[in-house]
Every structure is written in structure tokens, then in C-alpha cells.
Amino acid sequence: MVTQVKEIIYILDRTALGAIAPYPLYYPCSGNDHLDAIRLFSPDVKTFYFVDIHYFGARDPADKVRPILEGLPEYELQGVDLHEGQPPSAEFERVIDERTGKSYRRIEPFTRSERYVHRPSDQEIVIHRRRGDGERSLKLVKDLGIFYYRGDSSEGSAARWLTVNTKKHKLRRRFPIDEVLDRIVDNGLIVTDGSSCEYGEYLEFKRLSSFRAEEVSEAIQEANSFTDCRGFSYRCIGYAGHRSGPTLIWQVKRPSPP
């Protein structure tokens, strides 16, 4: 199924969303990249988490920013909730880890939640915009329907979500993608342009980054299905716009229990 919204073409068979509709979409290092994810997956998906350490600084406090979907007539804002107390704006501070003695950047987490009604369907959706670390914030989500990740150079985050050293993985070292796979439900989706995939078994996510926006069909056809070392299987089922390359939609099949 091809959907065109304001000259942005998405390709997705929406029947793929049936089993995962009750579960949230999670997008770390999201910046201002919200609309593609919301337009493509709502109102089937009703809960969205956009997480970035740069949200709600002094110039854009959480109680003053404009609603994400302001100006889109198909969505009607119902209310805004601010979580975790003060401050609605914050800046980075250097903190010393008492265990290691090393310093790191820390920022006080804060969440702004916006509740909307999607008028054509009369469905309510909730959009959480969270200032915080993407890895730590993932703990807020127990079961995950969609992991959405693109356009990230990793300059603002230490997490390289799609990079796995298979040798170290066999030694039971955990990587950010492990946290995602622990939570993603069967037939859940990973939507990515292959950002921060530097080497390892997930290079198929990035291999097609050279395709141009007008070469969508070719990119999908050349996306090879594969299985990772944990037994999770990946199959390309669609396209979610263009960022650093084509943003492809991969359906994830969990390994069968022993």
C-alpha cells in the first residue's frame, strides 16, 4: 500500500500494525523528527516516545514549547501534562562517577505528554517528548511495538544503537540493541536508515543508504532478510521516508522458545 502525504511517500501494508497496535513507538535521539513517524503509524499506534538529551533547554522550556502537531487539522489537542516536577528547562552539568572517577554529562530528565484525538478515526493518541538519555529512558517502556531510529550521527549520544561486536556479544557483553530486542514484541518493527551502524551483523540496515529518494522500490527489493546471532529474524516490509538514506521498515520475528 502506498500512501502520499504532502508529497512524502510512505509504503506500508497497514495489516502489519494489527498485532503491535497496543504497543508504543520509541524513537531515541529524535530531535525535531516527529511527523513522519506519527503520520505513518497513528492512529493504529496510540503511544509515541520521542527522546533526546537536547529537549527543553533554556530556549524551549517544556511548559512553553508549541505542541508537536500544531497546525495539523486531523489532530485535536486535548491536553498537556508535565511530568517529573521541575525544572521544565535545564542545561547539562558535569558529574563525577564515584565508582570510576570519570566525568560525564548529565541533564535532569523531564517529560511533556500531549494528548490528541485523531479526528478521522476518533482515536486518542499520546505523544511523550522526553528530555533524557535514550538508553536510560528505554526502561520506561516494558513492551515495544516499534523502534524508530534515523538521522543520528551519535555526536550527542554515546549509544550506537545498531553497532554490535559479535565476538564481544558472544562473551555476553550487552549492547543498546539488546535492550530493544528484549522489549520488542513478536512481529514488531525496526524503522531505520542505518544510522550509527558501523560494523557487525546489522550492516544490512545501512547497506542501502546510497539509494536516492526516487529509488524506493529498488531499495526495498534489494533489502535482504537476515537472522542475527540471537535468533531474531528481520524482513523488510516498507518505506518510511528518506533521511540519511531510505528509511526502511523491518519486521522482527522473535526466536522460538527452546
pLDDT exceeds cutoff 60 at 2: no
Residue found under cell 511530568: 83
pLDDT exceeds cutoff 50 at 6: no
Q: Label residue 187 exposed, middle or buried (CB < 10 Å: 0-12, 13-18, 19+).
A: middle
Pairing of strands 123-131, 47-52: parallel
How confident is the model at residue 122, as a pLDDT? 97
Q: Is 132 left (phi over 0), alpha (psi -120 to 50) or beta?
A: left
pLDDT exceeds cutoff 60 at 64: yes
In the chain, what are the domain boundaries? 1-51+133-258, 54-129
CB 29 within 8 A of CB 63: no
How confident is the model at residue 54, as a pLDDT? 87
Average pLDDT, the chain: 84
Residue found under cell 503511544: 47
Q: Kindly state the average pLDDT of the residues 97-124.
A: 83
How large a percentage of the chain has pLDDT more than 70? Answer: 81
pLDDT exceeds cutoff 60 at 4: no
pLDDT exceeds cutoff 70 at 11: yes
**How many angstroms separate the CA atoms of 203 and 216, rounded?**
18
Helix (H, G, I), strand (E, B) or coil at 16: helix
Confidence class of residue 233 from pLDDT cuts 50, 70 and 90? Answer: very high
Which DSSP letter does residue 66 get? P
Q: Kindly state the average pLDDT of the residues 74-97.
A: 77
pLDDT tens for 34-45 read 999 999 999 999
Backbone angles phi, psi at 35, to 5 degrees: -65, -40
Q: List 125's β-bridge partners, or say none.
A: 116
Where would I find the H helices in the chain? 35-41, 134-137, 166-170, 176-183, 216-222
Global confidence as pTM = 0.87
Per-residue DSSP letters for 151-199? Answer: S--SSS-S--TT---HHHHHTT---HHHHHHHHEEEEEEEEE--TT--S
Least-confidence region, from 15-19, 55-59, 120-124, 210-214: 210-214
How confident is the model at residue 106, as a pLDDT? 66
How confident is the model at residue 241, as a pLDDT? 86
How confident is the model at residue 5, as a pLDDT? 41
pLDDT tens for 171-204 read 567 888 999 999 999 999 999 988 888 777 888 8
How large a percentage of the chain has pLDDT more than 90? Answer: 49
- Give the Å distances, CA to CA, from 255 to 27, 108, 137, 181, 187: 24, 37, 25, 11, 11
Helix (H, G, I), strand (E, B) or coil at 69: coil
Q: What is the identity of the amino acid at 219?
A: A
96 versus 253: the higher-pLDDT residue is 253
pLDDT tens for 130-172 read 998 888 899 999 999 999 999 875 544 557 788 877 666 665 6
pLDDT exceeds cutoff 50 at 102: yes
How confident is the model at residue 166, as a pLDDT? 67
